[in-house]
Amino acid sequence: MQTFTLYYSSPLGKLKMQCTSEHLSALVFTEDENEAEQDHPILQQCTRELNEYFEGGRKAFTLPLKQHGTPFQSKVWELLLKIPYGKTISYNELSKQYGDLKAIRAVASANGRNNLAIIVPCHRVIGSNQSLTGYAGGLWRKKWLLEHEAKFHSGVQTFGF
């Protein structure tokens, strides 16, 4: 299956976008641009939606998504998609939503293996004490994303970090 790659310059640094002919399969922060770029309509749509998100207008993405993982990881990623824009939940709450509070470490690990940054909003998961914990893109990016969403969210939410 052919993979198409394009790089996107965001306020948070370079993002590598990848898709197949049917789905967006990766959106990851990167420092490298080693792969040749090959445009595709899904990558064009991703660029438009990211532009709208960073401008504060887009609160949900409509891209066709598919990332490879175990059934457990896929279920956690589905739960992440249900976290509303501008809101956060704890890893504990995410484990409860999964249906097994004892699986908190596995849920956190699946959250960290999300390969669709921003779009599958793993940045919206925080510590039970409202602290920033873990983000593959770096905690400064997580903080920026949460503050960005809070600024454009219709409700008022303050963060203690």
Taking the C-alpha atoms of residue 84 and residue 63, their distance in angstroms, rounded to an integer, is 17
> Any catalytic annotation for residue 19?
no
Which of 46, 122, 145, 146 is the catalytic position? 122
DSSP the chain: ---EEEEEEETTEEEEEEE-SS-EEEEEE-S---SPP---HHHHHHHHHHHHHHTT--SS----B-----HHHHHHHHHHTTSPTT--EEHHHHHHHHT-GGGHHHHHHHHHT-SBTTTS-GGGEE-TTS-----TT-HHHHHHHHHHHHHH-SS------
Tokens of 22: 């049917």
Q: Give catalytic residue positions.
A: 122
